Amino acid sequence: MNASSLPALLQGFFTERLRTQLGASSYTVANYRDTFRLLLRFAAERLKQAPCALRVEELDPSFVGDFLQHLEVDRGNCTRTRNVRLAALRAFFRYVAVNEPAHALQCQRLLAMPTKRYQRGPVEFLTDEEVAALVAAPNPDTWLGRRDRAILTVAAQTGLRNSELTCLRRQDVEFGAGAHVRCLGKGRKTRCTPLSTDAAAVLKEWITEQGGETGDPVFPSSRGGRISADALQRLVARQAATASERCPSLKGKKVTPHTLRHTAAMSLLRRGVELTVIALWLGHESTETTQVYLHADMSLKERALAHGTSTGAAPERYRPSDPLLAFLESL
């Protein structure tokens, strides 16, 4: 294999650049791996060549642009996912530019490809009533139901990320005074998140039922191993569909593990917890990331407006008195 060939450069990027030089986390490596799996499959179909026969020159900006378009149009990926894939490709071509100066011009053109702007929608979160319905949805008479109930309770109260929930081990949970869970979060930052009395009780009952060793996963799959991220996504969606039969407001919401993370943040914000504390709770690098929650709940803004009125009277939201006007307002 030629040292300057695409397979050699790609292998060097993962082994030398990511693992040895950068010490990238397993999540970063997996994300970049998935990007290049998709790229090589697209290239094999488009160029009619085996992945090991591809050359760096063939991955020019035009081809990469077609690949990004394929992700959005054919695979139905959102703009944010498209940008994540582009970031992985940029990291690789920065490595190529350093190790193969002959491709420097091509790499510069690829690195100049801009990320795509997108409209940020409002943060989706659940009300207290919706959380209660979701937690009550699993069947407590089955092993899976009791596991799902424990997962949903912990997720909605702690705001742990999908990966943080699936990687949680029994040695990461502390009960008694100051009950909390420890997790290794984004950016390899370890943090402790307190457990409420109710969440601690549910989690303790679940762990006691399971038994096992301290290194075992808190939320195992039906086969005993660690539950996967995709399985957790399906679990939350399935229980949300069940809960919507008792709580109709859930029918109009797409509930994911990240929705429960938003729910935990909004619950803290509504109870008057400072934004800096919420940022620490969620493991955010900066409070700028946390500020998105300030825009999510209209009632928070209305309370702020009430404090600023000269009369002290609480402001009222406009509500059309005529049914036809109400219909037009809803459009």
* Residues carrying an active site annotation: 161, 186, 258, 261, 284, 293
Chain center to CA of 253: 17
C-alpha distances in Å from residue 174, one per residue of 54, 151, 183, 272: 52, 16, 12, 26
For the chain, how long is the longest CA-to-CA vector? 79
Helix (H, G, I), strand (E, B) or coil at 321: coil
Alpha helix stretches (DSSP H) within the chain: 6-12, 26-47, 61-73, 79-99, 104-111, 128-136, 143-158, 162-166, 197-210, 229-243, 257-270, 275-282, 287-290, 298-308, 323-330
Q: Which two tokens stand for residue 110?
A: 């690829």
Strand partners, 181: 173, 193
Of 227, 81, 259, 229, nearest in space to 163 by CA: 229
Rg of the chain over Cα atoms, rounded to whole angstroms, equals 24
**Closest listed residue to residue 66, CA positions, set 49, 89, 100:** 89
The single residue listed with the structure tokens 């009533």 is: 129
Cα dihedral sign for 184, 185, 189, 193? negative
Closest Cα to residue 217, out of 156, 150, 159? 150
**Residues 134, 324: Cα–Cα separation, whole Å:** 35
Contact 150, 144 (CB under 8 A): no
Please tell me the distance from the alpha carbon of residue 168 to that of residue 323, in angstroms, as a whole number.
52
Q: How far apart are CA 242 and CA 235, in angstroms?
A: 11
